[in-house]
């Protein structure tokens, strides 16, 4: 009998262990959501989605403790599968070499640590703007096989619906189609649906849907999905499979996924699960030394998507003056159809194209630029954003936007990703190029990415097979530009260092020459001009590439595009060091490390140089006819002025100055060059190196009266100033 009990006990143990292993093996999402990285997150409550049978978890952010980091003895320990500090090291020969007069133009790259303690001070991993959201609006319609369908509940309610298409015209307008019965197949990507019920005259349902409408010619047939040949879950990818030597299509797909205002290190801190999938399962190459080329999205977007310099580059100790072919002021005043938009280049080579942004004033439109006068791509999501946000089309109370976002507990990026996924699914047989640009996620929130980490991890894992013949650029346009973290040295360097991770097609991952080139090039200063050149290289040359291709120089034959950068698929030309001058990076944004000496204790000099900058700001308000809108500014001398001198031994006479102004306590910084014998010379003259001065704090609430991007950061609306002064004058002193 005891022997029997022993055998029975062993069998139970084996069965239990086997069951657990099976659960972990075949329910990967369970593993990811509950035990990924040994997370200590605990569900606040469990809900069951009866449609899918899955357990839905609601997380309380107050319970999110050390989610991506573990603190041991007061020190931060990184999870093993996240990026290491060595991924951010610059070229050893440059990092440790001291500048001399001969080598002054050689770039020493910064060593950025994602887990720098000064950065971690500002991190809130529990930040989730949708936490606690309870859906109050349910869509009664959905898209299936290119048609609008009613849910079972709405069919039971005898609901009747019509739809109408939105056809994009230019960047600011679209045209409406006729209202039609939902039995008709919509010939558009964006459509509005309106429903009523005969027995309920007060019922009125109105919503938007997106799809990818593919028009088939008479000689074409719709591609059908192949039946599955294996029961193995598609995302069990811990064991890497051999690379395929031949692609399904000689022209690889190209997808750009752009996170506005996200630096390399910020992405590593905020998205460890996504980074893990990209690096370990899709073999992404990190390009850690990208340098932004302008202050915000506009100049960086032009460099990235047009290969164009947008602003003038002022002369400085490390830069020659460089004027763009067409400056931004003129560029805003004409349509972009004749320019070298990267989408046009792929279209010329037989690609079908897509472009989506989540903000109505996109990279080519803010604040008042013409943008595109005709639809620039085959699939343009712009009518969706115009309908929700544009004054011309939105509801008086933003009813539609509230329905689709807050009342459904959905964010803008989810609609964009649905659009992208549909694009990938609908065109399995045609090469594809897409740009998906997220602004709302992180532009105004340094902690805005934490809550979407698992969302994007699942996307990349679930679509990995469909992306196997794709170049994938996961990137930022610049780093985070405002707030507490930006006022630190770490934040300043991060602002200049936008994210870039590149996934190459599966059949090229075994090309050691290609991967070596990318890793070596990544040790040097790179810019958006290089990314543009790389995409042009792909558009014109990729069909000839295979595992044996030697990447020893870009073939520029028959490429009618002006390139300011180099494709980082080939070795960079290093006959001279890559630096901010020859890579068209202004002094203000150059991440090459210069010796800096604090001069903040020289109060009188600080007042003089800061006052010069305030005078320039007031001159700009006058030049742009804003004196009737904005208050005249004064230097706040009650607060310290921060002054740092660059390379005093080399006599650069260049200074970074940070100060505050009145009224409004605007916090600004910029770069100035002194022309004089020394800092005690009261007759010394100053000149601005910065194209314009930048704000370190949010200014929209006090600069709403201005729409000019050139002086808005300087503006404190007189309307506010007069209201504040009136309140101060009429208020009674408190009783003693």
Tokens at residue 351, please? Answer: 């690609």
Alpha-carbon span 278 to 554, nearest angstrom: 26
Query: Which pLDDT does position 83 carry in this prediction?
Result: 37
| Category of 37 on φ-ψ map: left (φ > 0), alpha (ψ -120 to 50) or beta | left
Query: Which pLDDT does position 611 carry in this prediction?
Result: 97
Alpha-carbon span 364 to 372, nearest angstrom: 8
Cα–Cα nearest to 444, from 524, 358, 566:
358
N-term to C-term CA, the chain: 91
- E strands present in 519-631: 596-598
Contacts of 369 (CB under 8 A, 6+ apart): 331, 332, 333
Residue 321 contacts residue 311 (beta carbons within 8 Å): no
Contacts of 616 (CB under 8 A, 6+ apart): 688, 693
Taking each helix axis from N to C end, the angle separating 28-35 and 453-462, rounded to the nearest 10 degrees, works out to 160
Return phi, psi of residue 588, to 5°.
Answer: -55, -35
Cα dihedral: 365, 371, 374, 375 (round 10): -50
Please report, for the chain, the start and end positions of each structural domain, with discontinuous segments joined by +.
133-211+358-414, 253-351+431-589, 596-726
Across the chain, which distance is largest between two alpha carbons, in Å?
105
Tokens at residue 702, please? Answer: 């006090």
Cα–Cα nearest to 440, from 406, 411, 476, 408:
411
In degrees, rounded to 5, the angle at the alpha carbon of residue 438 between the alpha carbons of residues 421 and 84 is 95
Would strands 352-357 and 379-380 be described as parallel, antiparallel, or unpaired? parallel
Residue with tokens 């045609």: 430
Residue with tokens 């972990």: 24
Residue ranges in the chain whose pLDDT is less than 70: 1-105, 217-249, 721-736
Fold of 253-351+431-589: Alkaline Phosphatase, subunit A (3.40.720)
Tokens at residue 487, please? Answer: 């006022």
What are the beta bridge partners of residue 675? 685
Query: Which pLDDT does position 245 carry in this prediction?
Result: 59
Residue 190 contacts residue 386 (beta carbons within 8 Å): no
Query: Which pLDDT does position 18 carry in this prediction?
Result: 60
Residue with tokens 């603190």: 71
pTM over 0.85: no
Contacts of 380 (CB under 8 A, 6+ apart): 168, 189, 354, 355, 356
């Amino acid at each position: 009998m005891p022997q029997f009990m022993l055998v029975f006990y062993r069998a139970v143990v084996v069965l239990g262990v086997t069951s657990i292993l099976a659960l972990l093996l075949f329910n990967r999402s369970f593993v990811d959501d509950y035990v990924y990285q040994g997370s200590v997150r605990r569900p606040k409550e469990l809900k069951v989605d009866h449609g899918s049978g899955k357990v839905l978890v609601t997380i309380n952010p107050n319970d999110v403790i050390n989610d991506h980091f573990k603190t041991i003895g007061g020190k931060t320990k990184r999870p093993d599968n996240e990026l290491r500090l060595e991924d951010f090291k610059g070229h050893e020969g440059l990092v440790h070499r001291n500048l001399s007069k001969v080598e002054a133009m050689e770039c020493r790259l910064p060593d950025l640590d994602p887990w720098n303690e000064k950065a971690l001070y500002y991190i809130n991993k529990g930040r989730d703007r949708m936490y606690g959201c309870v859906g109050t609006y349910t869509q009664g319609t959905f898209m299936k096989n290119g048609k609008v369908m009613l849910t079972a509940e709405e069919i039971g309610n005898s609901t009747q619906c019509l739809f109408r298409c939105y056809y994009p015209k230019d960047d600011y307008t679209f045209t409406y189609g006729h209202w039609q019965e939902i039995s008709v197949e919509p010939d558009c990507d964006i459509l509005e649906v309106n429903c009523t019920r005969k027995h309920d005259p007060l019922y009125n349902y109105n919503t938007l849907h997106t799809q990818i409408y593919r028009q088939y010619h008479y000689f074409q047939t719709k591609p059908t999905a192949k039946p599955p040949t294996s029961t193995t879950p598609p995302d069990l990818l811990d064991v890497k499979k051999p690379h395929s030597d031949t692609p399904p299509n000689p022209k690889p797909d190209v997808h750009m996924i752009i996170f506005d205002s996200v630096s390399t290190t910020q992405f590593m801190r905020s998205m460890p699960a996504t980074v893990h999938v990209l690096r370990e399962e899709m073999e992404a190459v990190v390009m850690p030394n990208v340098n932004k080329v302008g202050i915000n999205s506009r100049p960086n977007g032009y460099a990235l998507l047009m290969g164009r310099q947008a602003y003038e580059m002022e002369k400085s100790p490390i830069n020659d003056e460089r004027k763009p072919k067409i400056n931004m002021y003129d560029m805003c005043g004409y349509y972009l159809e004749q320019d070298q938009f990267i989408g046009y280049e792929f279209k010329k080579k037989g690609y079908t194209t897509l472009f989506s942004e989540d903000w109505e004033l996109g990279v080519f439109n803010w604040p008042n630029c013409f943008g595109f006068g005709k639809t620039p791509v085959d699939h343009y999501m712009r009518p969706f954003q115009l309908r929700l946000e544009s004054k011309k089309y939105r509801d008086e109370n933003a009813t539609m936007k509230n329905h689709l976002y807050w009342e459904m507990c959905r964010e803008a990026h989810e609609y964009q990703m649905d659009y992208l996924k549909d694009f990938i699914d609908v065109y399995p047989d045609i090469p594809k190029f897409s740009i998906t640009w997220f602004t709302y996620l992180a532009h105004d929130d340094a902690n805005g990415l934490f809550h979407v980490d698992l969302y994007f991890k699942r996307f990349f894992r679930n679509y990995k097979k469909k992306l196997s013949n794709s170049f994938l650029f996961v990137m930022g346009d610049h780093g985070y530009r405002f707030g507490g973290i930006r006022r630190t040295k770490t934040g300043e360097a991060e602002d200049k260092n936008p994210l870039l991770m590149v996934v190459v097609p599966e059949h090229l991952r075994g090309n050691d020459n290609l991967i070596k080139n990318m890793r070596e090039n990544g040790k040097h200063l790179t810019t958006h001009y290089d990314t543009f050149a790389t995409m042009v290289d792909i558009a014109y040359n990729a069909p000839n590439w295979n595992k044996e291709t030697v990447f020893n120089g870009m073939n520029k034959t028959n490429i009618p595009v002006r390139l300011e950068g180099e494709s980082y698929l080939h070795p960079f030309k290093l006959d001279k060091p890559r630096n901010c001058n020859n890579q068209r990076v202004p002094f203000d944004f150059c991440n090459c490390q210069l010796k800096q000496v604090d001069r903040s204790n020289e109060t009188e000099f600080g007042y003089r140089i800061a006052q010069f900058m305030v005078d320039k700001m007031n001159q700009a308000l006058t030049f742009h006819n804003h004196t009737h809108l904005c208050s005249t500014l004064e230097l706040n001398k009650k607060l310290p002025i921060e002054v740092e001198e660059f390379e005093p031994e080399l006599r650069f006479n260049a200074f970074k100055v940070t100060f505050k102004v009145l009224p409004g306590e605007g916090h600004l910084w910029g770069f100035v060059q002194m022309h004089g014998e020394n800092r005690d010379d009261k007759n010394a003259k100053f000149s601005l190196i910065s194209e314009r001065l930048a704000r370190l704090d949010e200014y929209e609430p006090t600069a709403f009266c201005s729409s000019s991007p050139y002086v808005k950061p300087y503006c404190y609306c007189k309307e506010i100033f007069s209201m504040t002064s009136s309140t101060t004058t009429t208020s009674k002193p408190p009783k003693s």
